[in-house]
Homo-oligomer: A and B are copies of this chain.
Amino acid sequence: MRRIAAVFEQVLGAPPPGEVWIGDDAAVVAAPAGRFVFATDAAVGGVHADLSLTGLDDLVWKALVATVSDIGAVGARPTYAVVDFCAPSGTDLVLLATGVAEAAAACACPVVGGDVTTAADVVVAVAATGVLEGEGPAVLRSGASQGDVLFVTGPLGASAAGLRVLRTGAPGPSSAVAAHRRPRARIAEGVEARRAGATAMMDVSDGLGIDLHRLAEASGVGVALDGVPVADGATEEEALGGGEDFELVVATPDPARLVGAFAAAGLRAPIEIGRCTDDPAERTLRGLPLARTGFEHRLG
């Protein structure tokens, strides 16, 4: 909560009456009724982003979107975020603050507090709260049953393709580069999927290959995929293992209701990719084994 106030005042708006944002020991904000949702994620320069290819503002954007995406992935709507910047002396704090302000605006999730700390690496840690509207539980990874139909909210692999374009200089669609630099969290889709009776949901942050394994393991079901929608300019391998697309995977026993709800809300149609099966060991794509591909943090 130190000098970050001076940085943020340049780029963030003023809080509503009765609230206190950046500048004191803690932020004071309006509370949700009933339940709230709380998530955190960190982005590290050199691990989550090659800072010779993308900017500090992009790193911050990704950290905020990844956190907000976790809020959306249980069907909640993000409300507030706090941000820790850890960075070497001389780091462009205004660029960091600009990136977080842009991401906060894109996610409709104001940044209300933060801290600045010296470190050798650039590390951006974001925490966000969210609200579950109305009655009914959050949509967890563990709720899928055999027979549920699996959807994703959009084609996959764009972020990985964009990184490849940036690394190699090979031709590729600008949409892929934009998806890598400035991914979007699927908040409205998560909220609609919960309303429409989704039984399980998660965001594709580490790669569909690994994230689907996690959903299946948490739910105790198998998964049989018919295919995977591949983003413009991406390969199927990138769609399965690339990660950071932040599309949602949704399981539902009532696919027509999900499709209808998305259409009524003016959202892009969800894409059916397969179904949950009764064999908890099954992980297949077009009848062949589905590799556990994606990004796993292993420190142990």
Question: Which residues in A have some Cβ–Cβ distance to B below 8 Å?
Answer: 1-3, 18, 20, 23-44, 46-48, 69-71, 73-74, 76, 80, 82-91, 93, 112-121, 123, 125, 127, 129-132, 137-138, 140-142, 201-203, 206, 218, 296-300
Contact = CB atoms under 8 A, between A and B. Distances in A.
B300 A3 contact: yes
A38 B113 contact: yes
A186 B134 CA distance: 36
Contact of A26 (B83, B114, B121, B130): B130
Residue among A93, A118, A131 with max Cβ neighbours from chain B (10 Å): A118
A221 B154 CA distance: 56
Given A35-B29, A300-B93, A82 B2 contact: no
Given A44-B86, A84-B125, A129-B129, A33 B33 contact: yes
A26 B39 contact: yes
16 contacts: A1-B70, A24-B141, A24-B202, A25-B70, A25-B202, A26-B70, A26-B76, A28-B36, A31-B35, A38-B82, A39-B113, A82-B127, A88-B299, A90-B300, A118-B299, A119-B123
A17 to B, nearest CB: 12
A104 to B, nearest CB: 14
A82 B38 CA distance: 8
